[in-house]
Structure 1
Amino acid sequence: MKALDLEAVQAFVLTADLKSFTRAAEAMDTTQSAVSLKIKRLEDGLGRKLLERTPRLVRLSADGNAFLEPARNLIAAHHGAVGSFGRKQRRLVVGISHHIVGSELPVLLKRMSESEPSLVLEMRVSTSHEALEDFERGKIDAAIVLRHDNRRRDGETILRETFGWMAAPDFEYRIGEPLRIATQAAPCSVRSLALDALKAAGIAWTEVFVGGGVSTIGAAVSAGLAAAALGRRVAPHDVIDAGAKFGLPPLPSRDVVLHASVNDRATKNSLKTLAATIRATAG
């Protein structure tokens, strides 16, 4: 058997992790067809089918599942060998809205660590307004935020975030009574988005829980304390979108935008990997 192509192995690992040839291509700064070709050649060389491909889904085959961990180890060994010559560490400071990262954050950080072992990623989770303000003041290298207004129309759109009225399956609400809600403390653009929608629909509400981020709001929703306006992508897995069930007004979607002020190629590639990983959480 021929020696394995490291780029092909990396393409396989990225595609398996991100469940998408497109997202893997974005992370590698190449094309989807190039990634597909690399993996096809890898499969031919191994004599094994590693990925099952359908128009909407990419998943590991039995052989792919067996090969994934050794493939990770191979990439890690390669990084370690290159790093033995004293590769210089790089620091990337990213501000990100807490409405953009949810339970998938550990996977995101793991993906970044594996692909960029010499990168020190400093992630500051805050509101979109705070992250954008820090970026404009030069305190951070990049900001990943929800676009709520026309304050800035630049930046790269990563994905379109959709919101729903998330609640526990057994949450009770009777029409005519104030809707019990969990929110982020003001000022919060998603809080404003939700309250504006309720006001326009003439629905009374009462705030029963104020959280310090999506994780705490999600916990209150999972516990059945309240309903909350949350991004469907980052909401807890044990809740449902109860908007239609309770006749609640639809919530507008928002662009997730990356603002960056980096010039070197290595850091740009790190941001491509980060953006591709976030896109992959949208399914």
Structure 2
Amino acid sequence: MQRPLDLDAIQAFVLVADLQSFTRAAEALDSTQSAISLKLKRLEQRLGRRLLERTPRLVRLSSDGQQFLPAARDLLAAHDRAMGQLQQEGGRFSVGISDHVAGIGFAGVLSQVNSYDPGVVIEVRIAPSREVMQQYERGELDAAIVRREPQDNDGELVMEEKIGWFAAPQWQYRAGDTLRVATFSTSCKIRDLALRRLDDSGIPWMEVFIGGGIHAVGAAVSAGLAVSALLHRTAPPDVIEIGARLGLPPLPLAQIVLHSTLQETRCREVLRTLVAALKAA
């Protein structure tokens, strides 16, 4: 009888395939990149097949890896069903995510998390960072993934994101003109930061659109109404970054932090996978 496959290695393989990164998979599994590489090397040796093509900048499935991936998912799903029957339930937690962090690829993030462990129920709330933190501090959320304010030191730093000036390709602006700006609500710190940078640079501006969320502001930018300061991950696919070309002031990196009170191991693992998937999105 042949030795059974190592489920930990199978899980690592699926995460690397989904996240396209050894680093992100290691973060999701609370492991190291070298440990993940060793697991996959042993899995490839066990199967006698090369599953991944590795380059300095890219990780992708080989033809054998593409063929093996559905079976690997089936193995993990069978394991989860067996464990779920013993544990009765898979666990549940709530997480708030800043709308700036969720971005436009959030459906893919949820798909990757569900592939990792479909037995855990996640309640997700997407709102401005300040609102998410208020809910977390009231005990309404088990975890929060938000943008860190400059004066704060709380939370675990999980990633840094670029902020840029975005506009529709056809949008026109000449130096000296009053800059037409689309902004978020007055409680948004990114709004305050962007307008302060314009003031400090001596660039005249006027608000022509105020949106209550990322989708509203993104729509205004795509429609050619104005320019707006957006995290790169939240910019609509049909707009372009125009800050350097038009001499607009540079904006600092946004620091994204995780707050969590989760104690149950399975839920903590799913939360780590969610963070890793957000970073890879």
TM-score range, shorter chain: over 0.9
1:189, distance to aligned residue in structure 2 (A): 0.7
Shift of 1:2: 4.8
Which deviates more, 158-167 or 57-66?
A: 57-66
Q: Is the 8 A contact 1:181 1:208 kept in 2?
A: yes
Distance of 2:90 and 2:122 partners within structure 1:
10
Contact 1:102 1:215 in 2 (8 A): no
Asked if residue 37 in structure 1 is aligned to residue 38 in structure 2, the reply is: yes
Matched, 1:222 2:222: yes
Indicate the RMSD between aligned Cα atoms, in angstroms.
Answer: 1.8
Equivalent residues of 1:87, 1:118 under 8 A apart = no
Paired residues of 1:180 and 1:205 also in contact (CA < 8 A)? yes
Q: 1:2 to 1:236 in 2, by over 3 A?
A: farther
1:208 aligns with 2:208: yes
Give the equivalent residue in structure 1 for 2:128: 127
User: CA offset at residue 33 of structure 1?
Assistant: 1.4
Closer, same or farther: CA 66–209 of 1 in aligned 2, 3 Å: farther
Paired residue secondary structure (2:257): strand
Compare 10-19 and 264-273 and name the one that shifted more: 264-273
Structure 1 residue 249 displacement after superposition? 0.6
TM-score under structure 1 length normalisation: 0.92
Structure 2 segments unaligned to the other structure (5+ residues): none
What letter is aligned with 1:259? H
CA contact (8 A) 2:7 2:76 kept: yes
Task: Give the distance between the partners of 1:97 and 1:242, measured in 2 at CA.
Answer: 24
Amino acid of the residue matched to residue 101 of structure 2? I
Q: What is the TM-score normalised by the length of structure 2?
A: 0.93
**Which consecutive residues of structure 1, in runs of 5 or more, have no partner in the other structure?**
none
CA distance in 2, matches of 1:108, 1:79: 20
Q: Distance in 1 between matches of 2:245 and 2:84?
A: 55
SS in structure 2 of the partner of residue 233 of structure 1: helix
SS at the partner of 2:15? Answer: helix
2:84, 2:90 within 8 Å by CA — same for their partners in 1?
no
SS, match of residue 106 in structure 1: helix
**Partner of 2:106 in structure 1?**
105
1:51 is aligned to: 52
Write the distance in 2 (CA, Å) between the matches of 1:49 and 1:238: 38
Q: Which amino acid counterpart does residue 176 of structure 1 have in structure 2?
A: G
**What pairs up with 1:119-268 in 2 under 5 angstroms?**
119-150=120-151, 152-268=152-268
Alignment of 1:40-119 (within 5 A): 40-85=41-86, 87-119=88-120
Report the residue type matching 1:118 in the other structure: G
Query: Per the alignment, in what secondary structure is the counterpart of residue 42 of structure 1?
Result: helix
3-state DSSP of counterpart to 2:203: coil
AA partner of residue 145 (structure 2): I
